[in-house]
Amino acid sequence: MKTIDELLAEGVGGKRVFVRADLNVPLDGAVITDDGRIRAVVPTVKALAEAGARVVVASHLGRPKGAPDPAFSLAPAAARLGELLGTDVEFATDTVGESARTTVAALTDGQVAVIENLRFNPGETSKDDAERGAFADQLAALADVYVGDGFGAVHRRHASVYDLPARLPHAAGYLIANEVTVLKKLTEDVQRPYVVVLGGAKVSDKLAVIDQLLGKADRILIGGGMAYTFLKAKGYEIGTSLVQEDQIPAVIEYIERAEKTGVELVLPVDTLVAPAFPDLKTKAPARPTAVAADAIPADQLGLDIGPETRKLYASKITDAATVFWNGPMGVFEHPDFAEGTKAVAQALVDSKAFTVVGGGDSAAAVRILGFDEAAFGHISTGGGASLEYLEGKTLPGLAALED
């Protein structure tokens, strides 16, 4: 895999360099609520621009249905990228149409442009190789060189991620190179004890990675909505808490396998419950109650790990040499149910371990809850991509960058 430093050494002055970034940031209307992914691509874009490249930045945002949708425009992300670079960034209002062609043609050495949301074109996400390839051909016409730096999308077989690198000389940007280096520390020659903290809503999203980690991790701590499927699998009453009934047989098998292999699978000992899901807009007080994990009232639902579980999980992280965390412990967007996620984040900060926050909601929570990102070993920009890497899957976007 060619690095961006090797590309820069060859010279990019005057060349049109297509940077596949991940600008898929959360928006409240046109307001960006977390710009972490934009900041992550700045080093690559800045290095290319300073070397005299004509930089064309492209990304997806959200899940538009293959057609333009103002709610998913990249215009706010383009404006924020310009602020972070300290320079004007041009914006094309389409992907491969007249605006994109004109905007790219007008670039001078060192200038940067962002083209509109790639998913506004159905060819980006098409499962048809020919349709996807045709879109990749149109994108290739905008550039001389390709740089992959959108780690959050490398697990997708999309035109700009998988097909386009085959059509242009290509290299990995700083972000992708760093992500791969970090993930190798979680899969090759891991420093032990190796503790994994998994949260989030659905067990089904984490089953494959749990399967892999049962043979690699020393401890796996389970929180978030997915914990209630584990508790149900143990025969506990979980009230109206989130549960995936169809995943219970697999969860039972994992619990049994953990016992046989000596992996410490740690479940909540208490939980915060409330009669209903909290209002995340008004943040109205939900008045939660802490109850034992095996005594959730039938008319209540669990929304965060409880105070005893927070202490337990922090103690399980204290002596770790490596920690990987993916998924919040509760509905952290509401102050009444943020303490579990905050406790795990603080335990990582206090630990002397090499700590990795595995993207997605966990990365957002770290920033929203006010933690210093520098206090963690690494904060990934790709939750799904990092999980699939740990599962041992071949990621199309990384494979496409291999020489």
From 185, 202, 234, 311, the catalytic residue: 202
Indicate if 225 belongs to the active site. Answer: no
Q: What is the DSSP string of 144-162?
A: SEEEE--GGGTTS--IIII
Indicate if 200 belongs to the active site. Answer: no
From 199, 200, 340, 360, the catalytic residue: 360
Q: How far apart are CA 352 and CA 332, in angstroms?
A: 25
For 353, the token pair is 């371990």
From 173, 200, 384, 397, the catalytic residue: 384
Omega within 30 of 0 (cis) for the link into 64: no
- Residue 279, judged by CB atoms within 10 A of its CB (0-12, 13-18, 19+), counts as exposed
For 169, the token pair is 């000389």
Indicate if 37 belongs to the active site. Answer: yes
Q: Are the beta carbons of 72 and 95 closer than 8 angstroms?
A: no
From 20, 37, 156, 219, the catalytic residue: 37
Q: How far apart are CA 165 and CA 397, in angstroms?
A: 9
Indicate if 360 belongs to the active site. Answer: yes
Q: What is the DSSP string of 357-392?
A: E-SHHHHHHHHHTT--GGGSSEE-S-HHHHHHHHTT
Secondary structure of residue 307 in the 3-state scheme: helix
Q: Active-site residues: which are they? A: 37, 202, 360, 384
